[in-house]
Chain A
Amino acid sequence: MPPSQTPSQTVGPFFGRALPYDGGHELVGEDDPAAVQITGRVLDGAGEPVPDALLEIWTGVNGTRGTLRRTGTGASGFGRCATAPDGSYRFRTARPSGPYLALLVFARGLLRPVLTRVYLADGPDPLLDTLEPARRATLVARPDGPDAYRFDVRLQGEGETVFLAP
């Protein structure tokens, strides 16, 4: 008989010395021609910033390689960023080869993470096309200058981000 799955528990407020690592939010170098910047905030059901969330992005770029960036060279397909006191986060990543990158958000008060997608452009898409316009819009990042995008995560309530079943 296959083993039974281990339940999820919250990341809690004290992950700060374990999970973030230097340069975790910078998946590629500043001068990488494919570099894009994605910034945004994580907000709760009252519209208040979530200052203790951890975001992870995964682009699938570079095959299935992550990197803790200990070597200080090369690009990563994986990034991690803890939110600031104002709920903000920031990533610099290579533009994904597909239309979107995957995003996980962990936080105190989330007993399991939320999984979503950051689309860098709207267009025909098997997931987006199943969503009504207002919901669809929550998954599409807003252009915010050259090679820069803005993507807020609303955990609950008005404008709640579309989250995906794992």
Chain B
Amino acid sequence: MTPPPDVHPPYLSPAYGSTVLRAPSLPPVTAKQDPEAVELTSPVFGHHEVDPLEADLTRRHDGEPIGERIVVTGRVLDSGGRPVRGTLVELWQANAAGRYHHDVDRHPAPLDPNFSGAGRCLTDDDGRYRFTTIKPGAYPWRNHQNAWRPAHIHFSVFGTAFTQRLVTQMYFPGDPLFPFDPIFQSVPDPAARERLVARFDLDVTEPEWALGYQFDVVLGSTPLES
């Protein structure tokens, strides 16, 4: 039987130029199973450390950011489909013009004084997170001639084991840049790639206010589960 294609991108994906000198050349070593291993536990962050306002990226400054207001919500689940409760979800993104609030971003698009593009929250008892933000713009990068990143939001998620730690990117449905983006295309399995694309949801959409998107994050199994 052919094993299913790997969910994650290979380290070496030459079409994404920065992988060439940074991808490990040797296969990862599988550590002997040890139920006491440090990697099988994970930090837990407290409610007193995360201000609920940090989940609304449109209200972090005096004025309102420019752009299309959106709600992004979903659940963090373990490999068995169980909710991961009270876990830290962090996100960051470009503004509506495709510019990051970051010193190394040289894209000649305007910064938005009312948008810094970073947020965090803890999942609820159902494993659900919910952010209000604005839709990020596409932006150029210098990976190859006329290279543009599709609009995306970076996600950072903790699970119940350090080995489950996941950083990923959420994309928007129907983006015409998908076929040309070596980072999106680095995921070998087309079905897995589609799981990086949020789903528009009219039920999440708030009338007269914001379009709604659903994006679930499913973490890997720990060595002890598999």
B22 touches A67 (CB 8 A): no
Bin chain B's interface residue count: 35 or more
Q: Which residue of A lies closest to B82 (CB)?
A: A2
CB-defined contacts of B118 to chain A, threshold 8 Å: 17-18
With A7-B9, A11-B167, A68-B50 in contact, do A111 and B19 touch (Cβ < 8 Å)? yes
Bound complex: CA A166 to CA B39 (Å): 9
From A6, A66, A156, give the contact of B43 (CB < 8 A). Answer: A66
Is A91's beta carbon under 8 Å from chain B?
Answer: no
B39 touches A58 (CB 8 A): yes
What 0/1 readout, one digit per residue, does chain A (135-158) give for beta carbons within 8 Å of chain B?
000000000000000000001110
A155 touches B22 (CB 8 A): yes
Is B166's beta carbon under 8 Å from chain A?
Answer: yes
With A58-B42, A60-B41, A111-B10 in contact, do A3 and B216 touch (Cβ < 8 Å)? yes
Is B3's beta carbon under 8 Å from chain A?
Answer: no
Is B144's beta carbon under 8 Å from chain A?
Answer: no
Chain A stretch 101-118: residues in CB contact (< 8 A) with chain B: 101-102, 104, 106-115
Bound complex: CA A65 to CA B86 (Å): 12
CB-defined contacts of A50 to chain B, threshold 8 Å: 22
With A14-B102, A66-B43 in contact, do A8 and B167 touch (Cβ < 8 Å)? yes
Chain A stretch 84-124: residues in CB contact (< 8 A) with chain B: 96, 98, 100-102, 104, 106-115
Chain A interface residues (CB < 8 Å from chain B): 2-19, 44-46, 48, 50, 52, 56, 58-60, 64-68, 70-71, 76-78, 96, 98, 100-102, 104, 106-115, 126-127, 130-131, 155-157, 160-166
